[in-house]
Structure 1
């Protein structure tokens, strides 16, 4: 049996992954602020069990109990795939104009939330002898600086190092969780629309992202989700590794 847990599952890549999982798994647990009505209809057609949990990941104090709620719903024999997908691109501003409110939201959603979720997941499943995979959705911004993306680049870079350290540690445990990063590249999502609408004074590469859209370079979330799900079928995932979609094409 397979259980998929996906955060940020109401739109973009998260929704695409969820739709793929509803066709291939036994149980999908979706976490997002709002429900996606189509998901229940898909679950009914495929016969897949669907659990939806409404939560804003900005509320990090609620995350330990969220993991407990999720794991209580998981079948005793099921392999588990936990995909930390939720993220925000804002604030798109140069340093000196970030603003504490938007900066704190970025830090909580992009960095604190996936780390707390991973920490609780590893702690609560340390004695579970089954396949356990945790994916942190990363970005090229984890490795490359972009003008105006100080918050996003920093949080993704921090999450990348966390994944590497946790993977190193898990390789020394009796029943390890495989923790990996996955960089989906440029996709045709709502986040891309936000990037293109940024003020060019705040984001120097804005025209390049308009060009991606105009030239049809942006990949569909469905295509990316399919590549990720194929990757997760592999039995030899390297713990702590950064997997880039460009190397999977």
Structure 2
């Protein structure tokens, strides 16, 4: 049995990726704030198993509770492989330094950095006991590599997620563990996050017109294309700790 755990699975890239992996002998556990009934129908048609765990990833107590439920639902002794995809993310608040609400900042860091770390640590700890082949995928962004005015929190949390990926990957290599962790940058996609970006206040986000152009000129990739690319990547050998970019595959 191959177990997949996907956060932010009810829409966007998460939804597209889950639809890609819903296959026979796959059990997919989705963490999101809502249930996607269309994915449930696809799972039934393909004789796959899907389960939704309600969780607001900005709330640490909910994350910890959801992790316990996820771990208890996995038969680690019988598992052939476990793949965790830390996909959920937020762009808000889009604000210049000194203008964001402290609660919004805390929520942002919880979703983009703390939740993926907590999920990864829990899976690693449990999978190590049984030497289960484990892959951890952290969805990152090119914003991790350069400062974008208005995106200080997004750039910082994605940079932190990359470094976490690289460091844990180096540890897996040292330990010769049956585990791999990578980060994957999907580039600009046609998602609700892009809609949110286009609705930002120009006084806080000087690149607003550029992102509006991306949309108007049809430059946003479909989530299904990105999901297929990621799924194909996971089929092959992976470099532990590497940050992959979709541009490498197109």
TM-score tier by shorter-chain length is: over 0.9
Name the CA distance, whole Å, in 2 between partners of 1:151 and 1:91: 8
Contact 1:163–1:180 (8 Å) recurs in 2: yes
Contact 2:93–2:108 (8 Å) recurs in 1: yes
Task: Find the residue that maps to 1:171 and give its secondary structure.
Answer: helix
Counterparts in 2 of 1:167-246, with a 5 A limit? 167-234=169-236, 236-246=237-247
Counterparts in 2 of 1:1-249, with a 5 A limit? 1-23=1-23, 26-75=26-75, 76-234=78-236, 236-249=237-250
Contact 1:127–1:175 (8 Å) recurs in 2: no
Q: How many residues align?
A: 248
**How much has 1:25 moved relative to structure 2?**
5.5
Task: Find the residue that maps to 2:22 and give its secondary structure.
Answer: helix
For the aligned residue pairs, the C-alpha RMSD in angstroms reads 1.4
Q: How does the TM-score come out when normalised to structure 1?
A: 0.95
Task: Find the residue that maps to 2:9 and give its secondary structure.
Answer: coil
**How much has 1:42 moved relative to structure 2?**
0.6
Name the CA distance, whole Å, in 1 between partners of 2:160 and 2:152: 12
Q: How does the TM-score come out when normalised to structure 2?
A: 0.95
Unaligned runs of 5+ in 1: none
Name the CA distance, whole Å, in 1 between partners of 2:25 and 2:138: 20
Task: Find the residue that maps to 2:132 and give its secondary structure.
Answer: coil
Name the CA distance, whole Å, in 1 between partners of 2:112 and 2:49: 28
